[in-house]
Amino acid sequence: MTGDFEETFVLIVGGGPVGLTSAIDLAQRGVPCILITENLETATQPRCNFVNARTMEHFRRLGLAEEVRAAAPLAKMHPRVAFVTRFCGHEFGNIDLLKTRLSEGQLGPESGLSISQLFLEPLLRRHAEASESVDVRFGTRLVALGGEDGAPIATVEDVRTGVRKRIRSRYVIGADGARSPVRRHFNISMAGDDGRIDNAFVSGTMITYFVRAPTLLEESRRAPATITWIINHDLRAFVFAQDGRERWIIHYQVPEGLGWEQVRSDEVMRSIFGKDLPYEILAEGPWTGGLSLVAAAYRAGPAFLVGDAAHLYTPLGGFGMNTGIGDVLNLTWKLAAAYSGWAGPNLLDSYEAERRSIGLRNSKIGIHCSKRKGKWLIPPTIEDEGEAGARARKTFGDFVVVDDLDEYDTSGLQLGERYESSPIVCANGTAAPPDTWSNYKPADFPGARSPHFWPSPGRGFYDLLGRDYTLVDFESGEPLEALLEAAKLRRLPLSVVRCPAPGQPYQSKLVLVRPDQHIAWHGNAPPEDPTAVIDRVRGA
């Protein structure tokens, strides 16, 4: 405490999955920070259900992947999507998610995992709270931001006692969600689709019911599904399994012209279940579907927007939190560089240059899938018993399982993030494969996520890399001293890993890998001007 301020290097506003992950990484990098979040507990009304392969890679680097897997009750369930008329009605199509996730697992050390925010957030909170350099304060709200550019001062309030304090920090991370007070303070607008989209399946006012329905699975007489789409002429809804037994998240589209408070939950439940079954609503609340919004700026002076504060997506495909975790792990190593004194003056600006384009790129899938589903022509006889109904369901089912596949087969979006035009990457014209949603193609080019391979059983390429920059030497036989000397001169922490050349897709013998596993520079011989390379990758 200095004067009437507490002091820290980074103030994180928001203790959702993105803010908590930033605290864990900053702590591992030894950067002092305070995390404040107005909620007293982690999420009680879960939204996010899918941690994708790239996020699992990040969790692996943070030492959390095993624990996340162990905390996911659904990890033991065969992941699949079911298309049904009612939960206890006819299933007319399904998609085996294991097949789409297997390709992720072959292209990286981890594959995606179905885990509810209910289980993920407490785990992240525990890890953040266990770190000595992080002070985690649940029940603390940001009420005002002031101070000067170089030293923002936050006024924060204990939501239980009303006691106010001031915190001065060098930087602020706005991980404060959709309504982001940090974003509002800096008058940063959001642009894109705002939910008023004709007939999109998930759009406008949606209600989430978090329910316990102990007999629902048994009464459905179907194999358990991770995601169940309810398709009929009365309503639009989808259901996520939470524990594989009795807890479910049900998302329901509120009919136009009706306020969400006017919805009769008993009628909705009966209609979704297709039967009168016992259930208990554990939590409920509205949200807006059909969004595809990205902030006009990701940085304002000392403040950085991450996660839902920076972008709001329609959740189909599951890219909101996953993109947010990618944001924050692009930022934290740069803040750590600023803390340690080796960041060049442009390093922190590269956060917006790199992540805003990813925010825009990832904003498209959810709304695309929602609009596409909205165009489905549901057969009039979809719920009829007898042969005509069965035929209609078969034809429609065969169509939807193909039409809907792009929502789940997203290895390109997950693993193909690239920063080839970044000011801190040494682009050299190496051809990059097209940036596609599915069919990720590993490639060795500056800006790409470095392609994964297994140097030894169970030990992935990323497991060899250091916490900071790593120079990977694939048996180049070249002298590395000049590059190492240049790094030392600029105090850029650089470790060297020597590894047998893996062959394709690596074409270069020397690869400079960033702390976030992306390629900063590559070549078959050390650069002619090593200081220029080191200066570029540290944002000088």
Ligand X SMILES: Cc1cc2nc3c(=O)[nH]c(=O)nc-3n(C[C@H](O)[C@H](O)[C@H](O)COP(=O)(O)OP(=O)(O)OC[C@H]3O[C@@H](n4cnc5c(N)ncnc54)[C@H](O)[C@@H]3O)c2cc1C
Pull the structure tokens for residue 229. 């789409």
Residue 281 and residue 210 in contact, taking contact as beta carbons nearer than 8 Å:
yes
Nearer Cβ to ligand X, position 48 or 486? 48
Number of Cα atoms under 13 Å in the Cβ half of residue 6: 16
Q: Please report how close the Cβ of residue 138 comes to ligand X at its closest, in angstroms.
A: 9
Q: Please report how close the Cβ of residue 176 comes to ligand X at its closest, in angstroms.
A: 4
Q: Please report how close the Cβ of residue 79 comes to ligand X at its closest, in angstroms.
A: 12
Which residues of this chain interact with ligand X, rule CB under 6 A? 13-19, 36-39, 47-50, 141-142, 175-177, 181, 208, 251, 287, 307-308, 315, 318-322, 324
Helix (H) and strand (E) counts for the chain?
15, 24
Residue 177 and residue 157 in contact, taking contact as beta carbons nearer than 8 Å:
no
Nearer Cβ to ligand X, position 41 or 267? 41
Pull the structure tokens for residue 292. 């595809």
Nearer Cβ to ligand X, position 14 or 526? 14
Largest CA distance in the chain: 80
Q: Please report how close the Cβ of residue 49 comes to ligand X at its closest, in angstroms.
A: 4
Nearer Cβ to ligand X, position 307 or 539? 307
Q: Which residues contact 457 (CB under 8 A, 6 or more apart)?
A: none
The residue among 404, 420, 304, 416 whose CA lies nearest residue 354 is 420
Name residue 169's beta-bridge partners: 8
Nearer Cβ to ligand X, position 19 or 523? 19
Q: Please report how close the Cβ of residue 309 comes to ligand X at its closest, in angstroms.
A: 6
Alpha helix locations (H) across 71-228?
Answer: 97-107, 117-130, 181-185, 216-220
Q: Please report how close the Cβ of residue 254 comes to ligand X at its closest, in angstroms.
A: 14
Q: Please report how close the Cβ of residue 415 comes to ligand X at its closest, in angstroms.
A: 15
Q: Please report how close the Cβ of residue 343 comes to ligand X at its closest, in angstroms.
A: 24
Nearer Cβ to ligand X, position 80 or 522? 80
Nearer Cβ to ligand X, position 252 or 506? 252
d(CA 501, CA 460): 14
Residue 83 and residue 400 in contact, taking contact as beta carbons nearer than 8 Å:
yes
φ and ψ at residue 438, rounded to 5 degrees = -105, -175
Q: Please report how close the Cβ of residue 193 comes to ligand X at its closest, in angstroms.
A: 15
Instruction: For residue 352, give the amino acid letter.
Output: E
The residue among 251, 26, 244, 285 whose CA lies nearest residue 119 is 244
Nearer Cβ to ligand X, position 286 or 479? 286
Nearer Cβ to ligand X, position 362 or 517? 362
What is the arrangement of strands in the sheet containing 236-241, beginning at the earlier edge strand? Answer: 91-96, 80-84, 227-231, 236-241, 247-253, 204-212, 280-289
Inter-CA distances, 434 with 409, 441, 506, Å: 16, 9, 17
Nearer Cβ to ligand X, position 94 or 208? 208
The residue among 259, 253, 257, 264 whose CA lies nearest residue 374 is 253
Q: Please report how close the Cβ of residue 47 comes to ligand X at its closest, in angstroms.
A: 3
Number of Cα atoms under 13 Å in the Cβ half of residue 208: 18
